[in-house]
């Protein structure tokens, strides 16, 4: 499994605001993290290519300690799909088992019945992250509403 960590940071004021919200509304902070994680998971699943559905199903939310929630992609070929590879074919049963063999070349299989040809990668994690990052202030405003206004006064 490949692990990519994203750290969303901002100005001191934003970090201070979220710190205050967490202190004053710990339950709501955890719920907001869950909502953000679910939004990220949905965005990544929408963008993930689908040959068998294994890649989409492997995008899961793992609960954390209340200050952290992880969204993981457990498909062994997820990093190759995100960052790139050479065109190749994969036996469908390998995809269904969650395996990948980028070393297989189309030339080896003149009649590729039972195989999926993969000719280009499709990033799905970073586009989902970038979309979420752009929406995060509006999500916080909608979720916290008057709580943000009471703290920022």
Answer yes or no: do 130 and 110 share one domain. no
Answer yes or no: do 41 and 72 share one domain. yes
Answer yes or no: do 105 and 131 share one domain. no
pTM of the complete model = 0.69
Answer yes or no: do 116 and 47 share one domain. no
Secondary structure string (H, E, C) spanning the chain: CCCCCCCCCCCHHHHHHHHHHHHHCHHHHHHHHHHHHHHHHHHHHHHCCCCCCHHHHCEEEECCCCCCCEEEECCCCHHHHHHCCCCEEEEHHHHHHCCCCCCCCHHHCCCCCCEEEECCCCCCHHHHHHHHHHHHHHHHHHHHCHHHHHHHC
Answer yes or no: do 63 and 26 share one domain. yes
Answer yes or no: do 65 and 76 share one domain. yes
Answer yes or no: do 114 and 146 share one domain. no
93-142 pLDDT, tens digit per residue, is 666 555 544 444 444 444 456 777 777 788 999 999 889 888 888 888 88
- In the prediction, which pLDDT does 111 show? 44
Answer yes or no: do 108 and 63 share one domain. no
Answer yes or no: do 55 and 106 share one domain. no
18-63 pLDDT, tens digit per residue, is 777 777 777 777 788 888 899 999 999 999 988 778 889 999 998 8
Answer yes or no: do 27 and 61 share one domain. yes
* Total domains present in the chain: 2
Q: Which residue segment(s) compose the domain that 62 sits in?
A: 12-84+122-152
Answer yes or no: do 22 and 96 share one domain. no
């Amino acid at each position: 499994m490949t692990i990519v960590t994203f750290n969303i940071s901002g100005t001191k004021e934003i970090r201070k605001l979220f710190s205050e919200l967490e202190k004053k509304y710990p339950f709501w902070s955890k719920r907001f993290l869950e909502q953000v994680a679910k939004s990220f998971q949905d965005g990544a699943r929408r963008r993930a290519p689908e040959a068998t559905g294994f890649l989409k199903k492997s995008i899961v939310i793992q609960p954390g300690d209340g200050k952290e929630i992880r969204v993981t992609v457990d498909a062994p070929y997820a990093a190759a799909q995100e960052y790139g590879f050479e065109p190749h074919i994969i036996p469908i049963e390998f995809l269904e088992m969650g395996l990948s063999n980028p070393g297989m070349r189309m030339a080896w299989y003149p009649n590729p019945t039972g195989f999926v040809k993969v000719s280009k990668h499709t990033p799905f994690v970073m586009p989902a992250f970038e979309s979420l990052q752009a929406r995060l202030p509006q999500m916080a405003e909608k979720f916290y509403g008057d709580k943000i206004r009471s703290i920022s006064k």
